[in-house]
Homo-oligomer: A and B are copies of this chain.
């Protein structure tokens, strides 16, 4: 697909604030609202835009801890884990990766006790390593046009 300069401007607006009206986006990028609407629809249909997410602060709703947990799955345990991990409310992101560890997860937790019970659930699937997140340095940075 051809993402022209105008579409990139629209994507920038939507990545900054997905609840902007088409009219407001139109004003910012210099076209009419039906034009914005049509371009957005096309990018949705083509999968360039995957969706629009309201970002909830885990901290403000009671998740006081964030951790990065890697898992080195036991033989035959990777596939069952890939199914199970989708059911954990605590896991906000999970990737299958190359290397000694098979899995890396970003996890939100209430407190140490919650962390302990969560890690206990992992032991049947493999060896886990936990690193506590001290701070978010970069948070869901916008995707930009590659040069």
Contacts and interface: CB of A to CB of B under 8 A. Distances in A.
Interface of A: 1, 3, 11, 13-19, 46-58, 60-63, 66, 68, 82, 85-86, 89, 91-99, 101, 103-106, 108, 110, 129, 131-146
A105 B62 CA distance: 25
Given A48-B56, A85-B138, 4 more contacts: A18-B52, A48-B60, A53-B53, A95-B137
- How often does this chain occur in the complex, in copies? 2
A108 B55 CA distance: 21
A52 B55 contact: yes
Contact of A131 (B91, B104, B133): B104
B133 A96 contact: yes
A56 B97 contact: no
